[in-house]
Amino acid sequence: MFWLHFTLRRFIKFHLKNGCRILNIDLKKLSFVKGFLDEEEAQRLFDLTLVSSRLAPCLEIGSYCGKSAVFLGTACRENNAVLFSVDHHTGSEEQQPGQEYFDPDLLDEKTGKIDTLRLFRKTINDFNLDKTVVPVIGRSEIIGRVWQTPLGLLFIDGSHAYESVLNDYEIWARHILPGGYLVFHDIFPDPAHGGQAPYLVYKQAVSSGQYDVLPLFKSLGALKKKN
C-alpha cells in the first residue's frame, strides 16, 4: 500500500511556472476505481487537459468506471471548464462475458448485460466532479450526428475495433479547435505489444496533415490541431 500511495503522489502533481501544486484527489478512493489507465499516462492527460480546457470544453469517448474522467475532469475544473464523457456503458466488445477483459463485478444480473454507469456515477460523486463532468449516455456515432460544440481536447478510448475507432475519429475530430488536442489511447507501433486498430487510425490522423505530432508517451498518441 505504501508503494501505491507513493506512485499516486507522483502523478497527482503538476508543475506551474513558479512551483508545484498538489491536487485535491483522494488517493484511497482512486486506488479502488476500476480502469486500464497507466499512472504516468494519467499525468500526461491531466497536463494536456489543463492547457486545452482553457480553449473550450473537453470530451472523452469511453468512460468505463471513470478513472480517466477523474484526471480530465480535475484539470477542467481548474479552468472552470466542462468535460463531456461519452459512453453507452454496456461495455465494449472485449469486456463482454467470455471475452478477455470481462469483469463479473460489472455484470447486471437482472439484465445479463454489462453496466458501468453506476460505478462511473459513483466515481464522479466521490471526487466531487458533479459540476464539471457531464455524462453523455449513448453511442458516440449517434451522439456525434448532432454534436455542434467546439472542443479543446478529444480523448478517444472507446471500442478498440477498427471501424469504431475510425468512426470516433472521423465524426468527432472536426470539432477540435486550432491549438486543441486529439489524443488516442493504446497506440502500439509494435503488434507484439497490443492491438493495432487505434494505431492505424492514429496514423491516418497524422497523415492528414492537420496536426502537429507530439512524441508518443507510452501508449498515448497526442496530436495538436494546427492553426
Q: Is residue 5 part of a domain?
A: no
Q: Which DSSP category does 81 fall into?
A: -
User: 7 in a domain, yes or no?
Assistant: no
Residue 69 lies in a domain: yes
The pLDDT, as a whole number, for residue 204 is 98
pLDDT one-digit tens code per residue, 195-205: 999 999 999 99
Asked whether residue 21 is assigned to any structural domain, the reply reads no
Q: Which of 88, 160, 175, 185 is catalytic?
A: 160
Q: Is residue 23 part of a domain?
A: no
Whole-angstrom distance, CA of residue 213 vs CA of residue 61: 21
In 148-189, alpha helices (H): 162-172
pLDDT of 1 over the 80 cut: no
Write the pLDDT tens digit of every residue in 84-113. 999 999 887 777 787 877 888 788 888 888
CATH of the domain at 136: 3.40.50.150
Q: Is 61 exposed, middle or buried (0-12, 13-18, 19+ CB in 10 A)?
A: buried
Mean pLDDT across the chain: 88
| Strand segments (E) across the chain | 13-16, 19-22, 58-61, 83-87, 107-108, 113-114, 133-137, 151-156, 176-184, 211-213, 221-225
158 close to 60: Cβ distance less than 8 angstroms: no
* Residue 15 known to be catalytic: no
Domain containing 172 equals 34-225
Is residue 176 a part of any domain in this protein?
A: yes
Q: How many domains, the chain?
A: 1
C-alpha cell at 49: 487537459
Residue 158 within a domain: yes
**Residue that wins the pLDDT comparison between 163 and 8:** 163
Q: Is residue 195 part of a domain?
A: yes
DSSP string, 94-132: GGSTTSTT--GGGEETTTTEE--HHHHHHHHHHTT-TTT
- For residue 175, how far is the Cα from the chain centroid? 16
Is a pLDDT exceeding 80 seen at residue 56? Answer: yes
